[in-house]
Amino acid sequence: MHVYKKNYMKKENILITGAAGFIGFNLTNLLISETYNIYGLDNINDYYDVNLKYARLKELGINRNDISDNIPIKSDKFNNFTFIKSNLENYDFIVKFISEGNFDYVINLAAQAGVRYSIENPRVYLKSNIDGFLSILEGCKQGKIKHLIYASTSSVYGLNTTMPLSENQSTEHPISLYAATKKANEMMAHTYSHLFNLPTTGLRFFTVYGPWGRPDMALFLFTKSILENKPISVFNHGNMIRDFTYVLDIVESIKKLLKKPPVKNINWDTYKPNPKSSIAPYRIYNIGNSNPVPLIEYIKHLEIALDKKAIYNFLDIQPGDVPATHADIQDLDNYIKYRPKISVKEGIQNFVNWYLIWNKIKFN
């Protein structure tokens, strides 16, 4: 007689930093239905309306009245989600939390975002994006994490205008401090990959948009102004091209990358070093729609979704902005067999549907 024993597999643990943020929330919302224990961390700062951040957390079963600094709380909606409010710059706490937390994977989406804001508030970016990322790296090293995925940005390409933008190309000329801190993150990650054999994957996001987005994003600002019959600020006189990428395509890509940590590239040439990989377990990927759209066309789709015309205020290009982006995503597609699927037309309509509910606005 055969006796069959049920195979109880231990759930893997994932830490997602920036879980109350735009991409972090959408990723948590996606992975929470999988067989993982999810831990979300966020400092809930006031860079933009904290009510939106708390609303995202509420969707995940976290009540704002239950939140205290550095104290984990369980979701009352999902039994595999735990949230903790903390700052990445709190080095000793974060390193201990990660190294002793029995995490299998860490996805770092916490950062001070915004190109223009970095011009006015540079020190904030160094604290959050440099000091905070060091806490992540050290915690991952000590905790022997299987795979660290972290957010970079298409802004690292800076003055590079060779399109499409490829991971093979130079990123030595960023034009905003925000981009410079993200470039520094990539170099810091490589150092830890090389010295401590920590598998790290950096993701260069291209103009992410969609439901639950940040209020400082163009689509959010445009929608608000159009509905309020106010002019929209259109920089570079409308001659901007962006590789707009829908947020669910971003998080689906991260999901597929999670269990595919990079390995050492044994064919990497130290005499002709390619910046996208290394003899260390280190990799950089673009994540974009790879179908760039003129900003004017983007706004036209928004006008159709809102059934309302915009009032245009054309302005010069802003310091730190680049006139065009276009992602080469062939490397990512080859690795995870996934390409973004949501068109700008569909993505904008999805955003508008969410925005109208969020703001309780209804057409008359």
The Cα–Cα gap between 6 and 260 comes to: 27
DSSP 8-state code for residue 165:
B
Using an 8 Å Cβ cutoff, are 85 and 54 in contact?
no
Using an 8 Å Cβ cutoff, are 94 and 88 in contact?
yes
The burial of 341, by beta-carbon neighbours within 10 Å (0-12 exposed, 13-18 middle, 19 or more buried), is given as exposed
Catalytic site residue 178? Answer: yes
Question: Computed from CA positions of residues 296, 53, 204, 134, in that sequence, does the dihedral angle turn out positive or negative?
Answer: positive
Q: What secondary structure does DSSP assign to 248-292, as a single string?
A: HHHHHHHHHHTT------TT--SSS--TT--SSSEEEEEE--S--
Q: Which of 178, 209, 246, 298 is catalytic?
A: 178
DSSP H or E run through 184: helix 177-196
End-to-end CA distance of the chain: give it in Å, rounded. 72
Other CB atoms within 10 Å distance of the CB of residue 327: 28
**For 58-61, which contacts have Cβ atoms below 8 Å and span 24 or more sequence positions?**
59/25, 59/29, 60/19, 60/25, 60/28, 60/29, 60/32
Please give the positions annotated as active site.
Answer: 178
